[in-house]
Amino acid sequence: MSSSSFYGVELKSRLLLGTSRYPSPAILERAIKASGAEVVTVSLRRESGTGRAGQAFWSLIQSMGVRVLPNTAGCHSVKEAVTTAHMARELFDTPWIKLEVIGEADTLQPDVFGLVEAARILSEDGFEVFPYTTEDLVVAERLVEAGCRVLMPWGAPIGSARGLNNVYGLRSMRAHFPEIPLVVDAGLGVPSHAAAAMELGYDAVLLNTAVAEAGDPVEMARAFALGVEAGRAAYLAQPMEPRDMAVPSTPVIGKAALGD
- List CB contacts of 31: < 8 A, sequence separation 6 or more: 17, 22, 211, 212, 217, 218, 220, 221
Q: Is 56 annotated as a binding residue?
A: no
Q: Give the other-Cβ count within 10 Å of 218's Cβ.
A: 19
Provide the CA 111 distance to its chain's centre, in angstroms.
18
Q: Is 8 annotated as a binding residue?
A: no
Is 203:172 a contact under the CB 8 Å cutoff? Answer: no
Q: Is 209 annotated as a binding residue?
A: yes
Task: Give the β-pairing of 204-207 and 183-185.
Answer: parallel
Which of 213, 215, 217, 183 lies closest to 198, judged by CA? 183
Q: Is 187 annotated as a binding residue?
A: yes
Catalytic site includes residue 98 = yes
Q: Give the other-Cβ count within 10 Å of 165's Cβ.
A: 14
Q: Is 166 annotated as a binding residue?
A: no
CA distances (Å), origin 158, targets 10, 103, 217, 259: 27, 13, 18, 67
Is 49:55 a contact under the CB 8 Å cutoff? Answer: yes
Task: Determine which one of 12, 79, 98, 255 is catalytic.
Answer: 98
Which of 161, 140, 131, 154 lies closest to 205, judged by CA? 154
At residue 5, the 3 state secondary structure works out as strand
Provide the CA 149 distance to its chain's centre, in angstroms.
15
228 backbone dihedrals φ, ψ, rounded to 5°: -65, -45
Q: What positions carry a catalytic annotation?
A: 98
Residue stretches of the annotated binding site = 159, 186-187, 208-209
Task: Please enumerate, by residue number, every residue annotated as part of a binding site for 1-deoxy-D-xylulose 5-phosphate.
Answer: 159, 186-187, 208-209
